[in-house]
Amino acid sequence: MISRTTSEQISEPAIPYTLHWRSRIYALIGLSGLLVVVIIFATTLGSVHIPFATCFQVLFSPLPFLHITPPCWQTLDAATLHTIILDIRLPRVLLAGLVGAALGVAGATYQGLFRNPLADPYLLGVASGAGLGATVAFLIPFTISWMSFGAVPLFAFAGAVGAVAVVYSLARVGRTLPATTLILAGVALGSFFSSITSYLMTICGEELHGIVFWLMGGLSLTRWSEVLTVFPCVLVGTVIIYLHGRPLNVMQLDEEQAQQLGINVERVKLILLGAASLITAAAVCFTGLIGFVGIIVPHAVRLIWGPDYRFLLPLSTLVGAIFLIVADTLAHTIIPPTEIPVGVITAFCGAPFFLYLLRKRQGFAFF
């Protein structure tokens, strides 16, 4: 807090800005470190508990130049450990991280674009579109596959992207894209798709179980091919979003002021909606509809580190990744061998934490 500045300080302006930057940069570095630790820790847990140090060695043994000998542990030889950790556990942990990161950054982007604290990555029909796509895929009587993926992720992705495209074209007024129309179109189309999904579920018979579990979201049986498909989509989308941190800050004023400050608001909206929807679609098409991450993570980050989108976006990515890895690890370890849907965990753990933050910072302006 600075007091009224005296004239001597003018040549050396008492600018508080850099200080905020420093704490946020420390947070970025700290959370990146924490993410690595959480990834390693998550690979230790499962039907066999493997010590942290052993996991560390196994995870880093394939890297060149480090010359780590693949270790053995108890009755497990190096090859078995390699299979358990690198082929079974690591893909699941990494996909959880990627999906959490995608939902976190997409949620922050949507909230910023709409200046609305209730916006989340599923606002524009991505979820209901993906849900409908996946349901249809469960019901088609023949099999389709592309690049080792079955029909479900393909249809879910197509449904998600298709829903956003329809919402976008419905909401467009001339050359502008009013936020209110967009939200209303998203809600309306979402309900429409959900009603079709519900109808299909009532007539689907034995496929119901699979559909319900898909809709609740989960990460079991993740393979490397899925991680390697989601990763480029999330990477490209996230980089595009990061580049728009400052325009997104200015757009928090309102669209008119942002335009008067030189921002091409319609272009920024289009790019960010496209990028955020793409990464959300890529995230949900393999894992189903994992709720709550995209709405809670950006809020928690905003409450702790402030509203500057240049930091809010990367911090939401990291916190989203950490949060979903932890939630997924809990989902399959607390009552083995039963696997709880990860969406149950995200809501059950996330909501109280969020309410705690909300109470602690009462009177805090969100936007």
Partner 1 sequence: MIELKDVSLGYNRRAVLSHISLKAAPGEMLGLIGPNGSGKSTLIRGMTRIIGLFSGHILVNGRDLEDMEREELARIVATVPQSAALPGAFTAFEVVLMGRTPHLGFLRYEGRKDLDIAWQAMEATQTEYLAERRVGELSGGERQRIVIARALTQQPKVILLDEPTTYLDINHQVEALDLVRKLCLEQSLTVVVALHDLNLAAQYCDRLVMLNEGRVFTEGGPMEVLTAVNIKEVYGAEISILHHPVNGLPVALVTAGESR
Residues making contact with partner 1 (CB under 8 A): 1-5, 10, 13-17, 115, 243, 246-247, 249-250, 252-254, 256-257, 259-264, 302, 306-308, 310, 364-367
Helix residue ranges, H only, 217-341: 224-243, 245-251, 255-260, 265-287, 293-305, 309-333
Rounded Cα–Cα distance for residues 140 and 145 (Å): 13
Q: How far is the CB of 3 from partner 1 (least distance, A)?
A: 7
CB 138 within 8 A of CB 205: no
Q: Phi-psi region for residue 188, left (φ > 0), alpha (ψ -120 to 50) or beta? A: alpha
Residue 165 or 243 having the CB closest to partner 1: 243
- Using alpha carbons, select from 81, 71, 80, 77 the residue that is nearest to residue 44: 81
Q: How far is the CB of 22 from partner 1 (least distance, A)?
A: 14
Q: How far is the CB of 178 from partner 1 (least distance, A)?
A: 14
Rounded Cα–Cα distance for residues 362 and 367 (Å): 14
Backbone angles phi, psi at 110, to 5 degrees: -60, -45
- Using alpha carbons, select from 100, 82, 340 the residue that is nearest to residue 108: 100
Residue 6 or 143 having the CB closest to partner 1: 6
Backbone angles phi, psi at 156, to 5 degrees: -65, -45
- DSSP for 147-195, written as a single string: TTB-HHHHHHHHHHHHHHHHHHHHH-BTTB--HHHHHHHHHHHHHHHHH
CB 168 within 8 A of CB 182: yes
Q: How far is CA 259 from CA 105, 268, 272, 289, in A?
A: 24, 11, 16, 36
Q: How far is the CB of 51 from partner 1 (least distance, A)?
A: 43
Residue 287 or 316 having the CB closest to partner 1: 316
Residue 115 or 223 having the CB closest to partner 1: 115
Residue 191 or 260 having the CB closest to partner 1: 260
Residue 88 or 253 having the CB closest to partner 1: 253
Residue 8 or 256 having the CB closest to partner 1: 256
Q: How far is the CB of 241 from partner 1 (least distance, A)?
A: 14
Beta bridge partners of 173: 176
Q: How far is the CB of 15 from partner 1 (least distance, A)?
A: 5
C-alpha torsion angle, residues 56, 62, 67, 68 (rounded to 10): 30
Q: How far is the CB of 166 from partner 1 (least distance, A)?
A: 26
Query: Token match 């109808």: residue?
Result: 199
Residue 251 or 276 having the CB closest to partner 1: 251
Residue 167 or 272 having the CB closest to partner 1: 272
Q: How far is the CB of 34 from partner 1 (least distance, A)?
A: 25
Number of residues that this document lists for the chain: 367
Q: How far is the CB of 249 from partner 1 (least distance, A)?
A: 7
